Amino acid sequence: MKLKFVISFGGHSAHPKRSMRGGALLKAGLLMLGLGFGLGLGNSVWAASVEGVRLWKAPDHTRFVFDLNVATPHHVFMLDNPHRVVVDLEKTTMQTLLGHLDYSDTFVSQIRSAKQKNGNLRVVFDLTQALKPKSFSLSPNDQYGHRLVIDLYNNAPKVVKTETNIAKVKSNNEFRNVIVAIDAGHGGEDPGAIGKKGSKEKDIVLAIARQLERLMKKEKGITPVLIRDGDYYLKLDKRRQLAREKYNADMFISIHADAFKDQRAHGASVFTLSRSGATSGMARYLAEKANQSDIVGGVITEEENELMRRVLVDLAMEGVLEHSFYLGKHILEELGDVSALHKKRVEQAGFRVLKSPEMVSLLVETGFISNPKEEKLLRTKAYQKKLARAVLSGTREYFTRYPLPGTYYAWKKQHSGQFARHTIKKGDTLSTIANYYHVPVKHLREVNQIETDVIRVGKVLLIPQG
Ligand SMILES: [Zn+2]
């Protein structure tokens, strides 16, 4: 408030000659001076200060975030010989130490700051190779105040061929693996939801994503890839782009654990992108929150909205939305075994991270971090693993039912003539079924990829012959 007031007076004094002369000018000056004293203004209000610095390491850039007491203009430029990036902040003082920053494993070798004669603050990043700086300001949010973000991008050439790309082409003579992109929501400067105990959504979902990756690595026919593998933020568009272009993914699963104002809200839910609005108030609420995540990277423009509408039409035509829904149903069913469900059906809403025409895409809300009981559960490794296992089982079910041509699942379906089928009835156990067909339980497990003792009534098991 104070600052706004003063700035509006500054506007007058900038063009004094136009409207004021002599006494009037003096009076205005005195008026400003008077106001200055009256409001307790000194240098301190005019000068911004850097009150904290954070650093996030992403694979393609390093992000520095300066906490400021007020928004302040800045300039960024590069210098060569040696490579440096220089940031000048107008009329700013440094009120924090830079020594605590851990920039090992980055291309930054040193950070220095110095006050300049004109009152500006100069921050110099010494680099071991040329990096491309990008900068922008962020307005205050729940967690932080005014911020200046400096991203230093590596000039690494675009990855054309990755291991996974190659894996997709020649994992086997007869079939290829399906590639599942696992996207842990939020990260870095964006913590996501925060629980009563202080758990951050970004940490919990990364832990679940890593569990899922580990399990999928062991699964025949699936190659998992982690979209975010560390504590840094990725724009929503970038997440899909990585899945599509870098990894050639067949499927995209985004993992979250959000909060709601009512602590009683609990249970897991599964979302797909909607063609026409959200299926419930909660779906709309969560989608809005998830999309806000990107305020770090910019706002949604009309143009983007139009693009979104068009993408939705394409998706509908390709049947990707329908298939995302089938996948959602299978995963939700499995989640129901390990967690309470918030809604018993797959919900739909306008999640931006899901709008990929080529990929079956899904967002799993693993629970509500705002519910104290669930927060406690979500923090445990055992529960994270259970959730991951449920997502894997649902994915396997989906691919078994709708095998992509050329994949292991298609191959298995082709060869399933070699198997008898048994529909699980109430009271069946793995050992009673194995006994009945005279096959070892171990084989039954292998063929059907069953890890636990839980089997579901109505599910069809393949029975190896002989
Ligand atoms: Zn989230």
- What is the CATH number for 446? 3.10.350.10
The answer to whether residues 34 and 70 belong to one domain is: no
Same domain, 366 and 432: no
- The structural domain count of the chain equals 4
> What confidence tens digit (pLDDT) does each residue in 357-380 have?
678 999 999 999 999 999 999 999
Within 10 angstroms of residue 314's Cβ, the number of other Cβ atoms is 13
Q: Are residues 109 and 28 in the same domain?
A: no
Of 44-48, 178-182, 374-378, 401-405, the range with the lowest mean pLDDT is 44-48
Same domain, 66 and 101: yes
CA of 244 to the centre of ligand 1 (A): 21
Query: Do 144 and 168 have their domain in common?
Result: no
Residue 308, pLDDT > 60, answer: no
Say how far apart CA 431 and CA 137 lie, in whole Å: 62
Q: Who has greater pLDDT, 333 or 1? A: 333
Q: How far is the CA of 194 from the centre of ligand 1 (A)?
A: 10
Q: How far apart are CA 424 and CA 442, in angstroms?
A: 17
Nearest to 121 by CA among 129, 131, 113: 113
Which CATH number does the domain housing residue 180 bear? Answer: 3.40.630.40
User: In this structure, is residue 413 part of a structural domain?
Assistant: no
Which range scores top for mean pLDDT: 21-30, 95-104, 415-424? 95-104
CA 188 to chain centre: 9
**Cα(338) to centroid(ligand 1), Å:** 20
155-159, 397-401, 428-432: segment of lowest average pLDDT:
155-159
Q: Is residue 278 part of a domain?
A: yes
**Which residues contact residue 30 at a Cβ distance below 8 angstroms, ignoring those fewer than 6 apart?**
none
- Are residue 62 and residue 135 in the same domain, yes or no? yes
Using alpha carbons, list the distances in angstroms from residue 110 to 68, 87, 262, 443.
Answer: 21, 14, 46, 59
Q: What is the mean pLDDT of the chain?
A: 80
Å from CA of 34 to ligand 1 middle: 50
pLDDT higher than 60, residue 311? no
Q: Do 293 and 326 share a domain, yes or no?
A: yes
Model confidence, pTM: 0.69
pLDDT at 34 over 50: no
CA 451 to centroid of ligand 1, rounded, Å: 29
Residue 13 confidence (pLDDT):
35
From the CB of residue 276, how many other CB atoms can be counted at a distance below 10 Å?
8
Same domain, 176 and 146: no
Among candidate residues 366, 401, 436, the one where a domain is terminated: 401
Q: Which of 154, 184, 217 is the last residue of a domain?
A: 154
Tell me, in angstroms, the distance from the centre of ligand 1 to residue 138's CA.
20
Does a structural domain hold residue 186?
A: yes
Residue 319 reports pLDDT greater than 90: no
Rounded to whole angstroms, the Cα distance separating 16 from 31 reads 14
CATH code of the domain in which 112 resides: 2.60.40.3500
Instruction: Report pLDDT for 161.
Output: 42
Mean pLDDT computed over 353-358 = 72
Residue 409 included in any domain: no
The answer to whether 83 and 131 are in contact (CB under 8 A) is yes
Angle at 286 between CA 282 and CA 291, to 5 degrees: 150
Supply the range of the domain harboring residue 259. Answer: 163-401
Q: Check pLDDT > 80 for residue 410.
A: yes
Half-sphere exposure of 2 (CA within 13 A, CB side): 12
Q: CB 93: neighbour CB atoms within 10 A?
A: 18
Q: Are 361 and 272 in contact (CB under 8 A)?
A: yes
The backbone torsions φ and ψ at residue 253, rounded to the nearest 5 degrees and listed phi first, read: -120, 115
pLDDT band at 294 (very low <50, low <70, confident <90, very high): low
**Helix H or strand E encompassing 82:** none
Strands 178-184 and 222-226: parallel
Same domain for 174 and 141:
no
State in Å: Cα 267 to ligand 1 middle.
Answer: 14
Higher-confidence residue of 419 and 154: namely: 154
Q: Look at strands 61-68 and 48-57 and give their pairing.
A: antiparallel
Per the domain annotation, does 354 fall within a domain? Answer: yes
* Assigned domain for 410 exists: no
d(CA 363, CA 348): 10
Give the distance (Å) from ligand 1 centre to CA of residue 193: 6
Lowest mean pLDDT among 29-43, 263-277, 429-443: 29-43
Is residue 82 reached through a cis peptide bond, with omega within 30 degrees of 0 on the bond before it? yes
